[in-house]
């Protein structure tokens, strides 16, 4: 058998970016859209957490309501992505535009027409759409009336939504993503209101009953929904490629004391049970035993067992922002790190405290590829920074170029030297948009500056930053001239 020697990124490498509906569309009450969980998330800051209110409170900022008005400006924005030479854009479909309450029998035709038009616009600009079916966009009614993902009926509503979209976009969309970052829900991980809310519309502090069991159920039902959706998408369109996107933080031990190495392994490995379940054809026995040990009942049935054998992924999507150092024996956790643990003294941090670690990307690619042997696409990576417009009217974001350059150099080593099958790189937030964790506009990621500020001011005009031209050149040379 002849084996291809990969010494360069493939000529079809999918260069591009990733966006999510609730972070940029706005138009929260237009086109027949219903209220979704993030429409109730206020703006926050690096030091003041977002709040998730029960109703829309007067005098408060809810950044999803206007976003950056992508809903009305998508043609202009996609044209700019096209000018940069994007080969691909990952978008998400806001469930509440298609089924405003989540449980209707028929979809909202205006919502369908909108996404059909976005996809047509991408194709017109030579950009391959990658479509995520769930990126923190859950119709609120499914939380208040059904109890969110705790309830298996929500899995059925989700499958109806997935089927509708695949039928509507069949032949135009080849790459589908079932969920974004469901791995942040797990009963073994330190839980917070933020993660349970953005994934399921529920505040951890307000969960009633056995909280660990609820987290296990939310995670399990989403995993089951993903494998069932994978099977469904394959059935509707046998040409499709289905993936799921995970946000994994490589976790290092503080030193080589074996107990610290073991703790770090366990902490990182915890995030992999859903990937195991979606790639190996069975829900991992170690997790079922763990639940049994904790007295947790997730309602695993013979029919579920079958579903896991039938819904295996074609590719894995990875979001990578930072690495972490695990808590160690006798140590104390540092305050302010998103995933717990302690700061890494070898790394610089972003203004939001995220450790900048390009080698972590190479590590993650190797680790995941060797564990599953499936093609991987980097679905998010980028630097959130407080960009300033210079006196010449332009953002000179050399720090962003530096960040991306270093990460991409490690990605290339993973492909060219370590032989990882990585088929694309999608930079997060190619146009400035609302931060998911803090709700700020100030935390900007884009190649394109958007004149919109946290107090709601700004004329929403778009302007390329220096990084825009850098990425354009990089794509032109297929990553050769980094
Ligand atoms: C990822 C999410 O985890 O992180 C995105 O998928 C999010 O939705 C991104 O925007 C960056 O986080 P933040 O809080 O800086 O926007």
The answer to whether the beta carbons of residues 217 and 224 sit under 8 Å apart is no
Which residue's CA is minimally distant from atom 3 of ligand 1? 247
Cβ–ligand 1 distance for 164 under 6 Å, the answer: no
The answer to whether the beta carbons of residues 31 and 110 sit under 8 Å apart is yes
- The alpha carbon of 190 and the centre of ligand 1 are apart by a number of angstroms equal to 19
Closest CA to 405 of 477, 463, 308: 477
Tens digits of residue pLDDT in 105-137: 999 999 999 999 999 999 999 999 999 999 999
- The alpha carbon of 347 and the centre of ligand 1 are apart by a number of angstroms equal to 20
Cβ–ligand 1 distance for 426 under 6 Å, the answer: no
Closest CA to 187 of 209, 169, 158: 209
pTM of structure: 0.97
- The alpha carbon of 341 and the centre of ligand 1 are apart by a number of angstroms equal to 20
| Matching residue, tokens 């032109």 | 476
- Give Cβ neighbours of residue 430 (< 8 Å, ≥ 6 apart): 16, 17, 18, 19, 81, 84, 86, 89, 445, 446, 447, 448
Q: State the catalytic residues.
A: 181, 380
- The alpha carbon of 198 and the centre of ligand 1 are apart by a number of angstroms equal to 11
Tens digits of residue pLDDT in 77-99: 999 999 999 999 999 999 999 99
Cβ–ligand 1 distance for 183 under 6 Å, the answer: no
Element (H, E) at 317: strand 315-319
Cβ–ligand 1 distance for 247 under 6 Å, the answer: yes
Please report, to the nearest 10 degrees, the dihedral formed by the alpha carbons of residues 337, 338, 340, 342 taken in order.
-30
Tokens coding 5: 């020697």
Tens digits of residue pLDDT in 334-384: 666 666 678 899 999 998 989 999 999 999 999 999 999 999 999 999 999
Cβ–ligand 1 distance for 186 under 6 Å, the answer: no
Residue 333: which pLDDT band, with cuts at 50, 70 and 90? low
Which residue's CA is minimally distant from atom 14 of ligand 1? 437
CATH tag for 14-476 (out of 1.10.540.10, 3.10.350.10, 3.20.20.80, 3.40.50.150): 3.20.20.80
Provide the residue ranges of all domains of the chain, joining segments of one domain with +: 14-476
């Amino acid at each position: 058998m002849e084996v291809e020697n990969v010494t360069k990124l493939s000529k079809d490498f999918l260069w591009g970016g990733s966006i999510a509906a609730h972070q940029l569309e706005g138009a929260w009450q237009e086109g027949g859209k219903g209220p979704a969980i993030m429409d109730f998330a206020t703006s926050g800051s690096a030091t003041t957490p977002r709040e998730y209110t029960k109703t829309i409170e007067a005098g408060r900022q809810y950044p999803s309501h206007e976003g950056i008005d992508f809903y009305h400006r998508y043609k202009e924005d996609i044209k700019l992505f096209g000018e940069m030479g994007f080969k691909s854009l990952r978008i998400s479909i806001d469930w509440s535009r298609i089924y405003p309450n989540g449980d209707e029998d028929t979809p909202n035709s205006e919502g369908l027409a909108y996404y059909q038009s976005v996809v047509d616009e991408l194709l017109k600009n030579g950009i391959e759409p990658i479509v995520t079916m769930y990126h923190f966009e859950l119709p609120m009614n499914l939380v208040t009336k059904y109890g969110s993902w705790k309830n298996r009926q929500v899995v059925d509503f989700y499958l109806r939504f997935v089927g509708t979209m695949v039928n509507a976009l069949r032949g135009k969309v080849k790459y589908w993503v079932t969920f974004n970052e469901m791995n942040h829900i797990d009963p073994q991980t330190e839980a917070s209101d933020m993660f349970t809310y953005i994934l399921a519309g529920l505040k951890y502090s307000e969960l009633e009953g056995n909280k660990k069991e609820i987290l296990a159920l939310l995670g399990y039902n989403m995993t089951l929904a993903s494998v069932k959706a994978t099977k469904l998408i394959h059935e509707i369109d046998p040409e499709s490629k289905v993936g799921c996107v995970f946000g994994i933080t490589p976790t290092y031990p503080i030193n080589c004391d074996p107990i610290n190495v073991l703790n770090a392994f366990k902490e990182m490995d915890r995030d992999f049970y859903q990937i195991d379940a979606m790639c190996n054809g069975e829900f991992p026995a170690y997790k079922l035993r763990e639940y049994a040990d904790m007295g947790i009942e997730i309602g695993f049935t013979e029919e579920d067992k079958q579903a896991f054998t039938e819904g295996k992924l074609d590719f894995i999507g990875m979001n990578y922002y930072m690495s972490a150092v695990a808590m160690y024996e006798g140590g104390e956790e540092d305050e302010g790190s998103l995933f717990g643990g302690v700061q890494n003294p070898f790394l610089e941090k972003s203004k939001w405290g995220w450790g900048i670690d390009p080698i972590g990307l190479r590590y993650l690619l190797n680790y995941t590829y060797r564990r599953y042997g499936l093609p991987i696409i980097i679905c998010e990576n980028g630097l959130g920074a407080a960009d300033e417009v210079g006196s010449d009217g332009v953002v000179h974001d050399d720090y962003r170029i530096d960040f991306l350059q270093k990460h991409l150099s490690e990605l290339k080593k993973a492909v060219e030297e370590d032989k990882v099958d990585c088929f694309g790189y999608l930079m997060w937030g190619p146009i400035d948009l609302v931060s998911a964790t803090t709700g700020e506009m100030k935390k900007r990621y884009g190649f394109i500056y958007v004149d919109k500020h946290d107090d709601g001011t700004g004329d929403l005009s778009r302007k390329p930053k220096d990084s825009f031209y850098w990425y354009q050149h990089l794509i032109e040379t297929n990553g050769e001239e980094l």
